[in-house]
Amino acid sequence: VASPKPRPAASSSPAGEDRAIGRLTQIMGRAAGPRPAGDLWIGDDAAVVDAAGQRLVLATDAAVAGVHADLAVVGLDDLGWKGLTAAVSDLGAMGAVPRWALVTFGLPPRTDLDRLAGGVAEASVAWACPVVGGDLTTADQVVVSVSVVGLLDGPRPAVTRAGAVGGDTLVVTGPLGASAAGLRWLRAGVSDGPLVSAHRRPPARLAAGQVARAADATAMIDVSDGFSLDLHRLADASGVGFVLDDLPVAEGATTDDALGGGEDYELIIATGDPDALAAALAAAGLPAPFVLGRCVDDPAVRRLGRDDLPRLGWEHPIG
Ligand SMILES: [Mg+2]
């Protein structure tokens, strides 16, 4: 979770960061010229490009001290872990297998580089994604920028945010809100426990993403900026609405943590065959997904129970 309180973007339309991404898509698209058929560029969790017949999945993510980590309560190693984990999570949300990482460190004077790099290295082992290069620069704040390259196993397309249709079931791979609750505990002086671990060392649901792709998931996104905001993004991209019946709140977390806290890195998955998805996850030894509700044809319908679901989450105030 961002160290300032997540800014609830409680409107019904994209704002701030999402508008800035729209402008970037135009500027970069004009410069790049026509996009090759089959490529997927800016706008999803990761890009998919064809490199001489091999599909590569590309993502990048930055973790900045004071924005993505409060160094008063978490270590530089935790910031490093988060930088690499957030990047590979975006590959997982396409169903891709992470393969290589490049890491740029921006460092103020006297930063403990060993500790920062140690956290990145731990994550690279956990997610089997070695760091093969990078760069070092001075900066006013500690910045960890991680670019990752992944591969798609077999001929199926990547799972984008855009494939959900009315009638699809929406599931999430695990309970939500633990990271935000963990930050609160850390600030209250608690230094261990599952919520604190969830904040300091969030997971990436790589195996679940790969299984979901193999089981014909129609759309997928990872919960980074906030469950509600990220679900709205999936619905926007797919042109659908949704009706949620229930929400899995992590033990010790609040509903607000679950809706808008972010950085849980669970996957929201849309599927036309929830039984097949659940069976595939079980066969892979993964936890049963939590059924949230369903997609509906009308994109204006965005409900949790009887209430409209606002876009709660962290949007960087850019643009
Ligand atoms: Mg993402």
Rounded Cα distance between 169 and 290, Å, is 11
Give residue 109 CA to ligand 1 midpoint distance, Å. 31
Q: Which amino acid is at 186?
A: L
Give residue 110 CA to ligand 1 midpoint distance, Å. 32
Question: Which tokens belong to 106?
Answer: 């921006």
Give residue 93 CA to ligand 1 midpoint distance, Å. 7
Neighbours of ion ligand 1 (CB under 5 A): 45, 90, 222, 224
Give residue 89 CA to ligand 1 midpoint distance, Å. 7
Give residue 222 CA to ligand 1 midpoint distance, Å. 5
As averages over each run of 10 residues, the pLDDT of the chain (319 residues) reads 43 68 89 91 95 95 90 95 97 98 97 97 98 97 97 96 98 97 96 96 98 98 96 98 97 96 96 98 98 98 96 73
Question: Which tokens belong to 63?
Answer: 């973790």
Give residue 242 CA to ligand 1 midpoint distance, Å. 19
- Cβ burial, residue 128 (10 Å; 0-12/13-18/19+): exposed
Q: Give the ranges where the chain is alpha helix by DSSP (H).
A: 17-32, 76-92, 113-126, 178-187, 194-200, 206-214, 227-238, 255-256, 274-283
Give residue 189 CA to ligand 1 midpoint distance, Å. 30
Give residue 219 CA to ligand 1 midpoint distance, Å. 12
Query: What was the pLDDT predicted at 317?
Result: 66
Rounded Cα distance between 235 and 299, Å, is 7
Query: What was the pLDDT predicted at 180?
Result: 96
Query: What was the pLDDT predicted at 7?
Result: 47
